[in-house]
Structure 1
Amino acid sequence: MTSAMLKPIAGYLAGLLFGLGLALGGMTDPARVIGFLDLAGAWDPTLMFVLGGAVVTTFVGYRWVLRRRAPLFAGAFQLPTRRDLDAKLLGGAALFGIGWGLSGYCPGPAVASLSGLSLPLAAMLTAMVGGWWLARRLG
């Protein structure tokens, strides 16, 4: 198999593993996510283990992968170069947080939850796609 054929397969497998991890970790349950975000009420700390696992995996994984000269299926790494905070970034982060807190879904778990489509999930996905469209129009 050529690199051009392996790249989408690797992407699919990575997405499948990510979605499985979200489901097993409870991130696809909006009630659990909202309980985790409710610090002043009935706080549910169980997602702290998911967060901790993600931080440790990312910390170790980036150091391991970036020792290579290039990724397996591309000519170079595509790393962000900007480090400044502007109104677009802060506004987008605020909208993301508000949407996550109101719905209990962020984009990854929302897509991983498509098999159990409900009205709140459909509303969140519609708002997410609308936000992408609006950002492209205003950007």
Structure 2
Amino acid sequence: MNTDKFTLQAPPADQELVLKVIPMPADCNANGDIFGGWLMSQVDLAGCILPMRLSQGRMATVAVKEFLFTQPVRVGDLLSFYAKIGRVGTTSVTVEVQVLAQRLATQNAYVQVAHAVLTYVAIDEEGRPRPVAA
């Protein structure tokens, strides 16, 4: 896969850094790459940060509209999760999450390793949808 189109010199200016994490050997699959499911769980955590702040309460994931793995993630990569709110509905918030890796050998460059669009719904104490506080 051509990595040039996924390499950035700086993180996106129109998105907020919401999470940073370093994958460890326990997060690997049999090929030595990081499990896609592990990365998906991290994206879900990162994606809910802005909606929780906006709704001032609990959120539940209701849809993953898109999830693209663009490059493998390796042990020791410094992953940065950038998010921005795409749409705010009556009870739901759609968020775009971009995952960038700084490889051990190239700390000054960012490589996009994943991109996702998720939708969260604001929920009350009983788990029922509630209006998003604006």
Please, what TM-score do these two structures have when normalized by structure 1? 0.25
Q: Which of the two has greater strand per residue? A: 2
Query: Which has the larger share of helix?
Result: 1
Task: Select the structure of larger CA radius of gyration.
Answer: 1
